[in-house]
Amino acid sequence: MILNIRNQFLFFSAVLLVLSTCEEGPSLEKPFKKQTPREAYVQALEDSGLGDTRMVEAWQQAGRSALEDSTFINGPFRETGHFRAEAPEAAAFRFELQAGERMQIRLDRKPSTVKLFVDLFRIELTDSTANYQPALSTDASSLDSLSYEPEDPGRFVLRLQPELLADCRYTIELLQQPAYGFFPVSSKGNTDIWSFFGDPRDAGRRRHEGIDIFARRGTPVVAVTEGIVRTRNRGLGGKQVWLRDQRRRQSIYYAHLDSQLVETGAIVRPGDTIGWVGNTGNAAGTSPHLHFGIYRWNYGAVDPQPYVARLPDDLPELRADTSLLGQLGRILVSPARLQSAPAFQAETRQVLSRHLPLRIEAASGRWYRVRLPDGEMGYVAANQIETADRPLRQLAIDSTREMLIEPLPAAMPLTTLGSDTSVEVLGQAGDFQLVRAPGGLTGWLLRD
């Protein structure tokens, strides 16, 4: 039996209420394993006989489309958005991570009872396609923060998608940070690194296997992570401390120390002083500095800078009006630009005409993320958008007309308007006008 729209919505709601007891996802402290919470949710839909329905297919397609149309994040990012129950939606954010960097993800959602599936993928590029390899997954049922640190550099995409028929508001914050929370030399920072990984040494016969951090003799040198230490006093490194990072399966090397504070076998914690800056070993005659290196087990030296270099952590202040999220809006001024990210220097996807209707889905800084009538998403400056509640004008229908669900000639009709009907024009897109009929029903009319 074919259900009408109202009965289908009620039927899905009842079934999804039962399915809300699906199993929880894997621990966030462990690598991605087995079936994800989202996959378990889809499996439950299929087991209930709903997997092949149009509503579930549209929800699945929304998740796939979000991965292909993700927002590139470069620096601290904050967005507040709204997912509507009546339209399957998802949002995705793309970024790059180096080995030694981690992405800190903070997430808040309302209501807290809604399952919000969070899936992180590594993007594997081939000649013609992008493959998405699962890296981390949760249903955000009992968390407000998680982080991810890759073993190898790569491109990643983080997707948010609520369960079916769920009205959900979220705020997500993304902060890219070094894996180690402490800089190796107390009170120093990025600008004190004067020699870098890979720099030539001995007239090019070898390469620098670390970074050099310059500071006054006697400046404290600190442990960047927890571990067991081993000390040495010989060779090129002079007075040295080796710190074993068991979790990441690598050893951290501190060299040219003026003196060591710890002894072999000691267990240190992040921030503990382990020695003092000097110029022992082959650094004699140079300014005091710390040679800081990292050696991955069974691999060799890796660039230590991403593990300790400070990154910007000032989240942009939210200036756009979040009360408009989920509402219908329209372009206020022309031309307006649809950007790929919330920044004027981002790629321009389209130039938009005045009065073009759009759906306001999220806010970031002084920008709105919007969805256009053709389905394309992007960011428009908040001061270039107004709500579409107030009609542009009244339109008298002089002959029987069909009001359509989309601005396409072959779109499905919503209703038929009689010749004595007056409608409110809310916006226009090409040859179509978005109108509101008596009773509040909104749809599209082909212009005469």
Q: What is the pTM of this model?
A: 0.88
> Does residue 311 lie in a domain region?
no
Are 166 and 55 in contact, with CB atoms under 8 Å apart? no
Q: Which of helix, strand or coil describes residue 144?
A: coil
- Given CA atoms 157, 163, 167, 168 in this order, what sign does their dihedral have? negative
pLDDT in tens, 264-306: 999 999 999 999 999 999 999 999 999 999 999 999 999 999 9
**Residues near 79 by beta carbon (within 8 Å), at least 6 away in sequence:** 91, 93, 171, 172, 362, 363, 364, 369
H or E stretch at 104: strand 101-110
Residue with tokens 């897109």: 429
> φ, ψ for residue 81 (rounded to 5)?
-140, 175
Q: Cα(266)–Cα(435) distance, rounded to whole angstroms?
A: 74
Residue 434: give its domain's CATH number: 2.30.30.40
Type of residue numbered 385: I
Residue 194 lies in a domain: yes
Q: Read off the amino acid at residue 272.
A: D
Residues 408 and 372 in one domain: no
d(CA 425, CA 227): 68
d(CA 149, CA 176): 10
Does the residue 260 lie in any domain? yes
Question: Which of residues 109, 143, 178 is at a domain's end?
Answer: 178
pLDDT at 24: 42
Task: Give the mean model confidence (pLDDT) for residues 337-364.
Answer: 96
Q: Are the CB atoms for 309 and 356 separated by under 8 Å?
A: no
Do 135 and 148 touch, CB atoms closer than 8 A? Answer: yes
Residue 316 lies in a domain: no
115 shares a domain with 36: yes
pLDDT, tens digit, 9 for 90 and up, residues 97-149: 999 999 999 999 999 899 999 999 999 988 778 899 999 999 876 667 899 99
Contact in structure between 279 and 42 (CB atoms under 8 Å): no
How confident is the model over 57-82, as a mean pLDDT?
95
- Please tell me whether residues 41 and 154 are part of one structural domain: yes
CA angle 169, 170, 173 (to 5 degrees): 165
138 and 64 in a common domain: yes
In this predicted structure, what is the pLDDT of residue 205?
Answer: 79
DSSP codes joined into one string, 280-306: -GGGTTSPPEEEEEEEETTTEEE--HH
In the numeric block, which tokens belong to residue 166?
Answer: 């769920």
Whether residues 247 and 110 fall in one domain: no
Same domain for 49 and 172, yes or no, is: yes
Residue 143: phi and psi, rounded to 5, are: -145, 160
Taking 80 as the threshold, does the pLDDT of residue 349 lie above it? yes
Cα separation of 276 and 257, whole Å?
6
How many C-beta atoms lie closer than 10 Å to residue 182's C-beta? 16
Task: State residue 4's pLDDT score.
Answer: 38
Q: How many domains does the chain have?
A: 4
What residues form DSSP beta bridges with 341?
A: none
pLDDT band per the 50, 70, 90 thresholds, residue 27: very low
Round the CA-based radius of gyration of the chain to a whole number and report it: 28
* Residue at 313 is within a domain: no
pLDDT, mean of residues 376-382: 96
Q: What is the dihedral of CA 434, 437, 440, 446, to 10 degrees?
A: -20
CA gap 104, 68 in Å, rounded? 22
Q: Could you give the percent of the chain with pLDDT greater than 90? A: 81
* Boundary of a domain, candidates 305, 339, 366: 305
Q: What is the pLDDT of residue 10?
A: 45
365 band by pLDDT with thresholds 50, 70 and 90: very high
Strand partners, 253: 242, 293
- According to DSSP, residue 149 is labeled -
The answer to whether the Cα torsion of 51, 89, 15, 116 is positive or negative is: positive
Residues 150 and 206 in one domain: no
Judge if 93 and 170 occupy the same domain.
yes
Dihedral (CA of 56, 61, 67, 73) sign = negative
Task: Assess if residue 125 is contained within a domain.
Answer: yes
d(CA 275, CA 243): 12
Q: How far is it, in rounded angstroms, from Cα 14 to Cα 5?
A: 14
Residue 61 belongs to a domain with what CATH number? 2.60.120.510
Whether 210 and 265 map to the same domain: the answer is: yes
Q: Among 121, 155, 178, identify where a domain stops.
A: 178
Residues 221, 253 within the same domain: yes
For residue 335 the two structure tokens come to 């031309």
Q: Is residue 435 part of a domain?
A: yes
Alpha-carbon gap, residue 368 to 191, rounded angstroms: 36
Average pLDDT of the chain to the nearest whole number: 91
Determine, yes or no, domain membership for 278.
yes
Domain extent at residue 368: 322-387
Tell the residue number behind the tokens 């809006």, with chain if given: 329
pLDDT at site 143: 66
Residue 145 shares a structural domain with residue 26: yes
According to the model, what pLDDT value does residue 35 have? 87
Reported as a pLDDT band with limits 50, 70 and 90, residue 439 is very high
Phi, psi of 103 (to 5 degrees): -105, 120
Q: Are 295 and 337 part of one and the same domain?
A: no
